[in-house]
Every structure is written in structure tokens, then in C-alpha cells.
Chains A and B, each alone.
Chain A
Amino acid sequence: MIEFLQILLTFILFSLIITVPVNIFNSKIFISKKYFSLDVASFNLILNCNILLLISFLPLSLGLFNFFFIFIYSAIFIYIYLIKNFRFNLIKNFIQSISIFLIIFLIISTNVAGELNLGWDAKYFYYIKALFFIENQSFGGLNKFASDNFHPHLGSYFWAFFWNLMPLKLEYFGRLFFVFLFCFSIFYICHNNLKDKFFENTVFILLILIMYMYDRFSGLQEILIFSFLIIMSKYFYLLKNSNNTYYVFFIILSCNLIIWLKSEGIFYSAILVLLLNFSTQISKKIKIYSNLFYISIVVFKLIIYQYFDFTWGQITINQTDFSYANVYPWHLDYIFNLNSAIIFHKLKFIIPFLFYYSIINVCFVVGFIILLALNFQKKIDNYTKIVNYYFVTNIIFIICVYLFADREIENLVRTTMERIIFTLSGFYVFLIISFIKRLNKDFLK
């Protein structure tokens, strides 16, 4: 029972991430520019995740950060919601509005608490990296662990941070943050504002029903990128608003998180920044600033890796049967030496599997059908154009990844392509939602 009560406690602590530091009901900056509460909540989430990323580099123990997190965030929460702007009705409405979110979070969290099984990659990399932080080691210590820069640390840091935050220190409490992020991202795109709307809650639950699979929460990192892509997809849609600078800013901040979640995150984020450049809704000046901002976060990652001396691991975990030498499968030598016979041989595996894994992914296949339908309309809106570009760059990216990888192609495709397609499919979820909402609107007319 204590464990179950603690799952409830995790929800309260995770809620601090979306409600602090900016007041989601009454922020002068955002409300004046017609941002809804949930938009501000998503900004808080991205901001706080970036703060966690920055503190992950500091050579201080996790316990200390946990203490500061609870102390400072609770203090800010009390100040901005209970002292400075106390409005009982607003808080009551908020709790009522997120009650469905809380129930769904509890249901999924209980499943995670019951299943417990960790995924293959989690057992090999992400759990062990999380354990580094739990055992009070700092980011710099990770270079002892082979495959250090092949698998970035941020997902493991989130895992460790929330695992260590709870009174009962059980590993799965850290993974509940992944559940929270997943639920919040879908809740955010289903609701325009925190009004208790039947239709939006129904869509939210149905989407969870369709998309939820325990394996996604078994310590693998794909679900994190998937969730951030869902949020970013809505930001791209909202770029049509005149005050879109904040969306651009938070898109780049989300790209920063993606870069630190998986090694291929740099390509995902590059695709998103490319989409910003394709967008006709933002000014050239903002495009230049966003490109510079993106370049600076990539350079920041390189500097961090250089500073902490992250080299390809020669040291392996002594129990492991695998050597991580040459773990990185992309080399310029290999790419330049590709000939037509190899390319043809690889495409024989890539294209059928790409087709197969796309078909079995609900978001990808439904998103593609909706996209196709929208392209046959008389007037194609800017968001559809953005998703078009995203789709094309996705396909090119997937083909290139496998074409250029110096690995046995069939095994590589079989073991990784499903997860890549799942990750990228996050961007289509908002397209599906907006299409359903439009259908509902037309139906009500």
C-alpha cells in the first residue's frame, strides 16, 4: 500500500515540473499574449528538463539536488499559487480538469510497478548509467563506462533523479517520469485549455488506449523523444499565431533535450530546425536566431564531451560478453566506399521492413493517410506543408541511417527500425488529433 501511495506522491512531485517556475494561470508574460495554461505548463516542463540537464553536469551528489528540488520548487509553488495569487476556484478547477490525467497516470504507473521488466538496452546501458548517478557519481564518471557517448545520459539522469527523490528508493519510480511525460504530452495536445471538456478527455483516453505498451516504459529512451515530438508538433501548429517567438524558443530547447536523449537525437533535432527554416510563418530574423541557437547547443554538447574526455570506450564492464570497441557503426570510409551492389542489397531489406514497420505503427500509418488526404484539399495550410516536409525528411533519414551503417543489415533493421519509426511517429499524433477535432466540429455543425 505504501508503494501505491508513493505513486500518488510521484504525481504531485511531477506536477511541480509543469507548474513551476511560471504561474500557469496568471503569468504576465504569457497570458497577455494569449497563451493557455497548458501551453505555459509545457513551457515549464521543457524549461525544467533543461535545468535538470544542466545540473546533471555538476559534480555534486544527486541527494543534494533532490533536496534542493523539493525545497525550492515547493517554495516557489507555495509562493506563486498560494501566497501571491491565491484563487481557490482556479485551483479547484485545475484539480478537476486534470483528474482524468491523474487517473490515467495511476493506471499506467500501476502497470509499470507490476511489470517491472527492463528492456534489453535498459539492462545494458540506461539502467547502469542511472545507477552511476544513484551511487553519487557525477557526469564525468560516466566516461569509465564504455559506450559513453554512443548513448547519451539525459534519460538515465531523469530516471535516477526521480528514483532517488522518493522516500522508498525503487528504480521504477524514476521510470514513472517517462509515464508522466507521455501522459502529459497527449493530454496537452488533446486539450486547448484546462476546461473540462468531454470530447477532449474521450480522445485523450482513447489515444492512451491505442498507444500504451509497457515495453515503451521499460527504461528505453524512445518514449521520451516521442513525447517531446508530440509537444513540438503542436508548437509547429501554433506557429501561425502572431506571438510565435516563444514557440520557436521552446522548440529549440526541446531539440536540446532530444540531442541529449539518444545519439540519433542530433539528426531528429536537425530535421526539426530544418522545418523551422521551411516555415513561412516566422520571420527571417527569428530563423537566423534559431539557427544560431541550435548551432550553439550542438557546440555546447561537443564542448561538454571534450571537457569530460568522453572517448570511445576501451574499458568494458568486466562481466559483459561484448566488446564495445567499434560500437559506432557510421564511418566516412564506409560511406565513401559504398557501391551500387551493396546499396541495392541493403535496400532489399530496408524498403520492405520500412513498409512493414510503418504499417504496424498506428500513429505513422494513420498520420500518413490523413496527410495524404489533406494534400488533396484545395488549399494546403502551412502546418500540413510542415508535416509534408517532416515526412519526406523522415523517410530520407531512415534510409540513410541504414544505408550508411557498417553492420549486418538484416539484423540491424530487424532490431532497431521499429523503434526509430515509433519515435518519429510522435510528430504525427497532433496531426491526427487536429483532424479528429476538425471532423467533430464539422459534425456538430
Chain B
Amino acid sequence: MLKYKKKSQILVLLILIIICGINTNFFRNLAEVVLYRYDDRIINKYGFCSGESIGYLLYLKKKYEIKNNPKIVNYIHTPQVNWAIINTKMFNTNQKKFILLNYPGPEYKIKLIMVNNNIFEPKDIEFFHDKFDKIESIEILNNSKNSKKINWKLNVISVDKSGNEKIVKVFNIENSLDESLKIKLDVLNENLNLDKKKLYFKIKNNNTSKIEGLQINLIMRNKYILEEFQIIDKIENCYYIQ
């Protein structure tokens, strides 16, 4: 009887351990640890030249024996990635080398999101604030098949932490919109102080046609134009430049 009790107890514990193993993906993890090297698993987790692109950073560090903390610019919004190759002995070194991850090209688009009836905010602008030179133009896309008449007064506004507004630029847009319309803005980043201020676009619609059906994008000119740098290494959209 006692032996039977002991055996059943061991069986219960075994079942619980198996449940624990299943719950934590023990068997899959064990297979990964046994079959793949640590570096391969890191690349698998963080991507080589996608997402955080830690694989590319580790590859560069190994290939070029990087020890001087080059500036890393990732165009995909992820947590900071410099931890992967940082050299703690060389904080604050003034580097002329850059690593560009997920580089989108000399121009890229940022969607404007409606905050209020007529107020729009560029999506993720805090993240992009140090990655563009100027807001080159505004792009309006018409989702409906009918062409529309646009008659807008567009105010580019910056707002500081205390809520004080400042009109950076005013544009009067009067045009007809078929599928898409691009209007030049040329708002320089240096005039916006986006590390301390928020950026809004206020549209006063002087027309009867509604703004809601439209998709509005900002076209930004990239701060890093590859032609201006020497490319040391390139894999897909990831670059090591100086």
C-alpha cells in the first residue's frame, strides 16, 4: 500500500513537471539550445537586417573589430540597439562612422494621424525627429474614385511642454485632387526643436469635401544621404558608413 502511494506520488510530480515543461516550451527550447549556436539564436530572435538587426551589428563588430561606438540609426522603431556592440570603455567618443539599419532611402513617408477634427500629428515623430533634414512635402491620397477640390489653410504648429503654440509655417493649398497630390513644404528640421516640442498640422478646410476620406503623409528628406558618405559595408538595407 505504502509502495503504491509512493509510486502514485512520483507519478503526480512527474505529470506536474511535464506540464511545467510544456508551459515553458522546454522541449522546443532544449532542441534550439542543443542544435543551434548562441549567435544563430540571437540572429533568429532579433533579426539580421530586420527589426532590431542585432545580427548585422554583431557581424560588423566581428568583421571590423569595432571598438569605438559608432552612431547607430535604426529606421524601425525598436528599443535602443547599441547594447549589442557597445564598448563601455569609450563612452562619448565623437565618431565619424555610422551604422544605418533598415535604411529606407533618401526619402521616407510618415503618416499623419488625426488627433482632433482638424488637427493632425505625424506618427512616431519623437522617434524620427533626429532622422530627417526637412519635411519636403505633404502627400494627399484620395481613397475614393471621385476627384475632389482642395482648399485648405495648413498651419504647421509646434507646441512646447507648457502648451505654448508657435506657428512655424502657413500654407494655402488650393488644388484639385484626383488620386494623389503632392505639395512642397520645405520645413527644415532645425526650425522645429522636436526634441523639446511636439509637431502638429492644423488644417482649416474651406471646402465642403471632407478630410476624413483622405490619407495624408509627410515626405521627409533623410538626414543620411548615402551619396554623401563612403559605404564601408552593406547588406540588404543595413549600411556601415563614414
Residues 409-443 of chain A: 1 if any B CB is under 8 Å from the residue's CB, otherwise 0? 00000000000000000000000000000000000
Does B92 belong to the interface (CB within 8 Å)? yes
Q: For chain B residues 105-128, which have a beta carbon within 8 Å of chain A?
A: 127
Does B63 belong to the interface (CB within 8 Å)? no
Determine if A198 and B12 form an interchain contact, defined as CB atoms under 8 angstroms apart: yes
Query: In the assembly, what is the distance between CA of A116 and CA of B42, in Å?
Result: 7
Determine if B29 and A315 form an interchain contact, defined as CB atoms under 8 angstroms apart: no
Out of B19, B30, B72, B82, name the residue touching A209 (CB < 8 Å): B19
| Minimum CB distance partner of A170 in chain B | B38
Query: In the assembly, what is the distance between CA of A7 and CA of B32, in Å?
Result: 14
Out of A113, A120, A205, name the residue touching B16 (CB < 8 Å): A205
Query: In the assembly, what is the distance between CA of A202 and CA of B80, in Å?
Result: 41
**Interface 9-mer from A255-263, A279-287, A294-302, A316-324:** A316-324
Determine if B13 and A4 form an interchain contact, defined as CB atoms under 8 angstroms apart: no
Output the least CB separation between B20 and chain A (Å).
5
**Interface 9-mer from A64-72, A123-131, A386-394:** A123-131
A131 contacts across to B, CB distance below 8 A: 83, 86, 88
Q: For chain A residues 100-122, which have a beta carbon within 8 Å of chain B?
A: 100, 103-104, 107-108, 110-111, 113-118, 120
| Minimum CB distance partner of A99 in chain B | B13
Determine if A124 and B80 form an interchain contact, defined as CB atoms under 8 angstroms apart: yes
Does B28 belong to the interface (CB within 8 Å)? yes
Does A145 belong to the interface (CB within 8 Å)? yes
Q: For chain B residues 70-109, which have a beta carbon within 8 Å of chain A?
A: 71-72, 79-83, 86-89, 91-95
Does A244 belong to the interface (CB within 8 Å)? no
Output the least CB separation between A199 and chain B (Å).
9
Query: In the assembly, what is the distance between CA of A206 and CA of B19, in Å?
Result: 10
Query: In the assembly, what is the distance between CA of A103 and CA of B42, in Å?
Result: 25
Determine if B41 and A128 form an interchain contact, defined as CB atoms under 8 angstroms apart: no
Out of A116, A198, A214, name the residue touching B13 (CB < 8 Å): A198
Residues 217-239 of chain B: 1 if any A CB is under 8 Å from the residue's CB, otherwise 0? 00000000000000000000000
Query: In the assembly, what is the distance between CA of A209 and CA of B32, in Å?
Result: 22
Output the least CB separation between A102 and chain B (Å).
11
Output the least CB separation between A347 and chain B (Å).
22
Determine if B88 and A209 form an interchain contact, defined as CB atoms under 8 angstroms apart: no
Does B25 belong to the interface (CB within 8 Å)? yes
Does B45 belong to the interface (CB within 8 Å)? yes
Query: In the assembly, what is the distance between CA of A323 and CA of B88, in Å?
Result: 18
A108 contacts across to B, CB distance below 8 A: 24
Determine if A4 and B83 form an interchain contact, defined as CB atoms under 8 angstroms apart: no
| Minimum CB distance partner of A145 in chain B | B91
Output the least CB separation between B40 and chain A (Å).
11
Does A144 belong to the interface (CB within 8 Å)? yes
Assuming A114-B25, A124-B80, is B9 touching A318 (CB within 8 A)?
no
Assuming A116-B41, A131-B86, is B80 touching A320 (CB within 8 A)?
yes
| Minimum CB distance partner of A320 in chain B | B80
Interface size on A, residues (CB 8 A): 48
Output the least CB separation between B140 and chain A (Å).
30
Determine if B26 and A107 form an interchain contact, defined as CB atoms under 8 angstroms apart: yes
| Minimum CB distance partner of A133 in chain B | B88
Assuming A111-B24, A114-B32, A209-B23, is B93 touching A318 (CB within 8 A)?
yes
Does B214 belong to the interface (CB within 8 Å)? no
Determine if A116 and B45 form an interchain contact, defined as CB atoms under 8 angstroms apart: yes
Determine if A110 and B38 form an interchain contact, defined as CB atoms under 8 angstroms apart: no
Query: In the assembly, what is the distance between CA of A370 and CA of B192, in Å?
Result: 56
Query: In the assembly, what is the distance between CA of A135 and CA of B19, in Å?
Result: 40
Assuming A113-B33, A208-B20, is B25 touching A128 (CB within 8 A)?
no
Query: In the assembly, what is the distance between CA of A318 and CA of B91, in Å?
Result: 7
Assuming A315-B91, A318-B91, is B13 touching A202 (CB within 8 A)?
yes
B12 contacts across to A, CB distance below 8 A: 198, 202
Determine if B26 and A317 form an interchain contact, defined as CB atoms under 8 angstroms apart: no
Does B69 belong to the interface (CB within 8 Å)? yes
| Minimum CB distance partner of A201 in chain B | B13
Assuming A116-B41, A124-B80, A170-B38, is B16 touching A110 (CB within 8 A)?
no
Determine if B33 and A4 form an interchain contact, defined as CB atoms under 8 angstroms apart: yes
B127 contacts across to A, CB distance below 8 A: 321
Assuming A202-B16, A206-B16, is B82 touching A319 (CB within 8 A)?
yes
Output the least CB separation between B131 and chain A (Å).
10
B33 contacts across to A, CB distance below 8 A: 3-4, 7, 110, 113-114
Does A132 belong to the interface (CB within 8 Å)? yes
A208 contacts across to B, CB distance below 8 A: 20
A315 contacts across to B, CB distance below 8 A: 91-92
| Minimum CB distance partner of B37 in chain A | A3
Query: In the assembly, what is the distance between CA of A170 and CA of B40, in Å?
Result: 13
Does B17 belong to the interface (CB within 8 Å)? yes
Determine if A318 and B95 form an interchain contact, defined as CB atoms under 8 angstroms apart: yes
Q: For chain A residues 285-341, which have a beta carbon within 8 Å of chain B?
A: 315-321, 323
- What would 20 A/B residue contacts be, using CB atoms closer than 8 Å? A1-B34, A100-B17, A107-B26, A110-B33, A114-B32, A115-B45, A120-B79, A123-B83, A124-B80, A128-B86, A131-B86, A137-B89, A198-B13, A315-B91, A317-B82, A318-B95, A319-B71, A320-B80, A321-B127, A323-B195
Known: A100-B17, A321-B130. 9 other contacts (CB 8 A): A111-B24, A111-B26, A127-B83, A137-B89, A198-B12, A202-B13, A205-B13, A315-B92, A318-B69
**Chain A: residues with CB nearer than 8 A to chain B?**
1, 3-4, 7, 100, 103-104, 107-108, 110-111, 113-118, 120, 123-124, 127-128, 131-132, 135, 137, 141, 144-145, 168, 170, 198, 201-202, 205-206, 208-209, 212, 214, 315-321, 323
Q: Which 10 A-B pairs have the closest CB atoms?
A: A114-B29, A319-B82, A111-B24, A198-B9, A205-B16, A110-B29, A132-B88, A113-B33, A123-B83, A144-B91
